[in-house]
Amino acid sequence: MELSNNTLGDWLEHWATATPEHECIVYSDRNLRFTWSVFNDRVDNMAKGLLSIGVTKGAHVGIWAQNVPDWLTFLYACAKIGAVAVTVNTNYKEHELAFIIENSDMHTLCITDGVSGSDYVSMVYSLFPDLKTTQRGQLKSNRFPQLKNVVYIGQEKHRGMYNTPELLLLGSNQNDEEFLNIKQSVDCQDVVNMQYTSGTTGFPKGVMLSHHNIANNGYLTGEHMKFTQADKLCICVPMFHCFGVVLAAMNCLTHGCTHVMVERFDPLITLASIHKERCTAVYGVPTMFIAELNHPMFDMFDMSSLRTGIMAGALCPIELMRSVCDRMFMTITSVYGLTETSPGMTQTRFDDSFEVRCTTVGSNYEFTEVAVIDPVTGAICPDGVQGEMCCRGYNVMKGYYKNPQATAEVIDKNGFLHSGDLGVKDPDGNFRITGRIKDMIIRGGENISPREIEEFLYKMPGIKDVQIVAMASPRYGEDVAAFVIPHANTDITSEDVRDYCKDKIARYKIPRYVFSVNDYPLTGSGKIQKFKLREMAIELCKAQGIEIV
């Protein structure tokens, strides 16, 4: 294995030349198919279309959409002209979108209609009321001075917005000279993707990832599962996460295999796509595999074409792994890492024993040094001794956007990125995750910052203080629990909190469990003991007859 210095555009053009008629992208539910050659031509026209509306090298282009057919078109169009694709979580509400646009200095925002409960077009018009009366490309906003364009991903026309057919037409009529010059200036170390991740405190930070980061991480991930050009990967995980855009799409890009896309995870569409296209691999978080296995029509579909895949994003129960292996004919691997590591640090291999694949997160990626470091002394721990999972190598992010202080807090002077997770290494070189130093909640693969929800709920009338903690969940791995101290003579119910959050923050961040208390357990120095709150949450659920799901 070797690391490549190819840009994403280089990889795309390689397959468009080497295997032009091989299928690149398939949407089985609508029989939409692109060969590598046709898709590359579409990307070129989109890239030139972006140039024509003022997107230049280094500009930030937001993609706010589920796995729609042109999601990857916009990603690779940005990559070819040196722009940065800023992936936006599809669950975000208006104030979360506003934060991303402002913090990322976004130049162009690409959107769809939205998802259930979230009308993206209405939210954009709410943020930019002048958009309906402003000439396209001439948007001016005091709060968002960098934003110039809004693009609707689809055929429909909305006032003040471009749409994708218009951009493709603009691109097809553009002279190639500017495009070719800017494409040749793109380097593999340039930032190509910025993803916002919740950290231990405050609001999400923009993780800057280069072509070199994500292409090589995707390549090595595929190598660990013995991917070849003949493979067909069913991609039902969201593209706005590293799981989708790196472990899935970059794997396909670097191996020349076929992306079988599912726009929005639906177990029936996923099963039907695997069956119809004879997919050889599928990814998912545990809840996705549970939904597929338990679907009443599961036995109607032939899963025998499957051979491998990834289960990640949350704790993978052994019995579920066994069921997937037995009923879906898959040798499942798991990946451990975080957005800041592009994302893979460790992975179990296709050839590993079932026990290793079930009980560990595997060994370090090639060209990546993973160490368990004592969080107090900074020394590397011997095998079997718990410490913080850290790594250094090609996969470490370029840094947090406009936040050198936060970057310095996670990447030490020796170049090790600190994960905040606790783990141990066994004598065979495999790692196990044993806990978490930081408070971040991981719900079904979604990273949730307790501080972000706390700051939001502090604004709720009647709440004097609030603490957010993780609640163990059989379904999601972890879920959100809120401990609130109400003002005097005020009652706060679970329904009150959830109603206040509804349509204001993403649904997955809304506390499922809400407990009113008079005070919090404190250390001798006055610090809140969140681990005791987590214990209290379980006891209060039992005492109040609340089902933990």
Q: Which of 121, 113, 104, 107 is nearest to 78 (CA)?
A: 107
Quickly state the pLDDT bin for 313 (edges 50, 70, 90).
Answer: confident
User: Residues 59-92: pLDDT tens digits?
Assistant: 999 999 999 999 999 999 999 999 999 999 999 9
Report which of 295, 300, 256, 260 is spatially closest to residue 280, judged by C-alpha positions.
260
pLDDT value of residue 446: 87
Which residue in 338, 334, 278 sits closest to 307, CA to CA? 278
One-letter identity of residue 288: M
pLDDT value at 201 more than 60: no
Residue 478's nearest CA partner among 437, 423, 534 is 534
What is the DSSP secondary structure assignment for residue 295, as one 8-state letter?
-
H or E element: which one contains 346? Answer: strand 344-347
137 in the Ramachandran plot: left (φ > 0), alpha (ψ -120 to 50) or beta?
left
Calculate the average pLDDT of the chain: 94
Under the banding of pLDDT at 50, 70 and 90, the label for residue 202 is low
State percent of the chain over pLDDT 70: 98
pLDDT at 527 over 80: no
User: What is the identity of the amino acid at 434?
Assistant: T
Q: Quick one: tokens of 446?
A: 């979604």
- Homologous superfamily of 8-22+32-210 in CATH? ANL, N-terminal domain (3.40.50.12780)
Residue the block writes with tokens 């024509």: 52
Measured CA to CA, the distance from residue 63 to residue 88 in angstroms comes to: 6
Tokens of 165: 């057919």
For the cut 60, the answer to whether the pLDDT of residue 324 exceeds it is: yes
Q: Which residues contact 103 (CB under 8 A, 6 or more apart)?
A: 196, 203, 206, 401, 402
Q: Where are the domains of the chain?
A: 8-22+32-210, 334-435, 448-544
Q: In angstroms, what CA-CA distances link 69 with 72, 164, 459, 506, 524?
A: 7, 11, 39, 24, 56
d(CA 199, CA 441): 10
- Tens-place pLDDT, residues 251-263: 999 999 999 999 9
C-alpha count within 13 angstroms, C-beta hemisphere, residue 294 = 7
Report the half-sphere exposure of 534 (CA within 13 A, side-chain side).
15
Read off the tokens for 244: 């989708």
- 61-75, 198-212, 474-488, 535-549 — which is least confidently predicted? 198-212
Amino acid at 300: M
Average pLDDT over residues 276-302: 95
Q: How far is the CA of 173 from the CAs of 44, 52, 74, 233, 357, in angstroms?
A: 12, 10, 18, 34, 52
Nearest of 335, 402, 321 to residue 363 by alpha carbon: 335
Cα separation, 262 vs 427, in Å, equals 40
- Quickly name the fold that domain 448-544 has: GMP Synthetase; Chain A, domain 3 (3.30.300)
Compute how many other C-beta atoms are within 10 angstroms of the C-beta atom of residue 286. 23
380 CB burial (10 A radius; 0-12, 13-18, 19+) = middle
Sheet architecture: strand order including 513-516 = 463-473, 477-486, 513-516
pLDDT above 90 (res 232): yes
Fold of 334-435: Luciferase; domain 3 (2.30.38)
Q: How far apart are the first and last CA of the chain?
A: 43
pLDDT of residue 434: 83
pLDDT of 315 above 70: no
* Omega within 30 of 0 (cis) for the link into 382: no
pLDDT for 200: 40
- DSSP for 221-271 reads HHHHTT--TT-EEEE-S-TTSHIIIIIIHHHHHHHT-EEEE-SS--HHHHH
Q: Are strands 60-64 and 108-111 parallel, antiparallel or unpaired?
A: parallel
Whether 314 shows a pLDDT value over 90: the answer reads no
Q: Which residue has the tokens 């990967």?
A: 233
Dihedral class, residue 492 (left if φ above 0, else alpha if ψ from -120 to 50, else beta): beta
Taking the C-alpha atoms of residue 166 and residue 122, their distance in angstroms, rounded to an integer, is 21
Q: Are 398 and 209 in contact (CB under 8 A)?
A: yes
Provide the whole-model pTM: 0.88
Nearest residue to 320 (alpha-carbon basis) of 454, 311, 110: 311
- Model confidence pLDDT, tens digit, residues 438-497: 778 889 888 888 888 988 998 999 998 899 999 999 889 899 999 999 998 899 999 999
> What HEC string does 98-115 produce?
HHHHHHHCCCEEEECCEE
What distance lies between CA 85 and its chain's CA centroid? 13
Strands 205-210 and 23-27 come out as unpaired
3-state secondary structure of 203: coil
3-state secondary structure of 461: coil
CA distance 476 to 458: 26
Query: Cis before residue 343, ω within 30 degrees of 0?
Result: yes
The total of other beta-carbon atoms located within 10 Å of residue 355's CB is 9
Mean pLDDT for 121-143 is: 94
Residues 145, 135: Cα–Cα separation, whole Å:
16
Q: What would the pLDDT profile of 503-513 be if each residue is shown by its tens digit?
A: 999 999 999 99
Residue 199 has pLDDT above 60, yes or no: no
Residue 316 has pLDDT above 90, yes or no: no
**Host H or E run for residue 399:** strand 399-400
